[in-house]
Amino acid sequence: MGPSVGIHLSIHRTESKLGSEPGRGPTVRMAHPIIPSDYGVTLKAIQHRVRQERARVVLSANAALILLYWDIGRMIVDRQIRVGWGAKVIERLGRDLRKSFPEMQGFSNRNLQFMRSFAEEFPDASIVKQLASQLPWWHIIRLMQRVKNPEAREWYMREAARQSWSRSVLEIQLLGNAYERRGRAVTNFESSLPALEGRRAAEVFKDPYLFDFLGATDLNRERQVEQALVDHIQRFMLELGSGFAFVGRQMRLHVGGEDFYLDLLFYHLKLRCFVVIELKAVPFDPAFVGQINLYLSAVDDQLRHPDDRPSIGLLLCRSKHQVVVEYALRDLTKPIGVAGWETTLAKVLPERYVDSLPSVEELEAELGVGDTD
């Protein structure tokens, strides 16, 4: 008797809370929005997909995770288009996935939205498999947020994968507009090199070069700047771009009974040639061209291997007038490029980035990285 009374009282209390009309029983109000009819099937499909991939994550964690996120994003986009899934449904999806896989991070509402954007902005599966899967999820999120030009985004992805850019390095490249600066040095490569080699070489050199890492160096003293570049050789190499190998500083060249010392000598592994860099703390002067032309001739005669291609010169000046540079390079047969160098990052940033350069910690907080790994 006791148990039946307990059950009766429990039902009575529930009915009194819900309310009822005489003769019709309790009134039940449905929660909104109504879950779509295909929601259960879709949830099971995603759960199956997650379980399927977890085994592969052990062997190829990052690539599998990126592809998993892309697949989930595609499913969400498909349901949004076909049956009108809204934000509330995605929130419900996140809760259910977190319950199904409590040991896994990444199923927050914010991250599911990133997955949806990922699928929308990277519709080509080959790009996802070849490039995106080689990058950490944080990199992909940052590129989606900051780079809207598909060609530029693909370039950053290739460079990040090829050079194993960390978060901070990627951020430096984005803040410094590395894509926009590439291939902008004034050169005579078109007339001094075979067509294909000239195009490849032109892509290597940028304008301007950013030396923000020089700190308190006296920028008016070339030797001090040169020494600071060598002291910060990793950052300098990063700014130069991939393919450069450092050979030496103040390299001695003996020509006609005299000693000459070139500032910096590199070898470019892809161009297969020496690169002579002359650093100037003053604006471009046409006389600089004669100096670096002499160095290139000496390097080709004294250091160049028969299998190497002709050496290339790069003049880095504080400023330049493009027409003057073009005239100075016009009839030269040695390949030479001229670019500027700066130390104030804000000078080359878009206006929307000038006011505030976020720290890595601020970026992580903004992205909720802890919940998106």
| Short-list 251, 263, 249, CA closest to 315 | 263
3-state secondary structure of 138: helix
Instruction: Tell me the two tokens of residue 351.
Output: 């206006």
- Residues composing the chain: 373
Residue 97 pLDDT class (50, 70, 90 cuts)? very high
Average pLDDT, the chain: 82
Question: What pLDDT, on the 0 to 100 scale, is given for residue 253?
Answer: 93
Calpha distance 169→156 (Å, rounded): 11
- Asked whether the predicted pLDDT for residue 17 surpasses 50, the reply is no
Side chain identity, residue 145: Q
Mean pLDDT of 206-226: 81
| Residues paired with 317 in a beta bridge | 340
Q: pLDDT above 90 covers what percent of the chain?
A: 46
Check pLDDT > 60 for residue 3: no
Distances (CA, A) of 109 to 64, 310, 372: 21, 56, 10
Sign of CA dihedral 106, 107, 110, 115: positive
Q: What is the mean pLDDT of residues 152-156?
A: 93
pLDDT class for 303, splitting at 50, 70, 90?
very high
| Three-state SS at 341 | strand
Q: Helix 61-83 vs helix 109-121: angle between axes, to the nearest 10 degrees? A: 90
Using CA atoms, how far apart are residues 122 and 104, in angstroms rounded to an integer? 24
Helix (H), strand (E) counts: the chain: 18, 9
Beta strand pairing status for 336-342 and 312-317? parallel
| Residues 296-315, mean pLDDT to the nearest whole number | 95
Cβ–Cβ under 8 Å, residues 150 and 157: no
| Domains identified in the chain and CATH numbers | 39-179 (no CATH), 180-348 (3.40.1350.10)
Is residue 226 within 8 Å of 263, Cβ to Cβ? Answer: yes
| Between 57 and 116, the higher pLDDT residue | 116
- The reported pLDDT for the residue numbered 175 is 87
H or E element that contains 260: strand 258-268
CA nearest to 140, candidates 152, 156, 125, 124:
156
Q: Is the pLDDT of residue 36 over 80?
A: yes
Q: What is the pLDDT of residues 316-360, one digit of tens each?
A: 999 999 999 999 999 999 999 999 998 864 344 444 443 444 444
How many other C-beta atoms can be found within 10 angstroms of the C-beta atom of residue 192? 19
Q: Which residues pair with 259 in a beta bridge?
A: 254
Quick one: CA torsion of 91, 92, 94, 97, rounded to 10 degrees? 180
Q: Confidence band (pLDDT; 50, 70, 90) for 27?
A: low
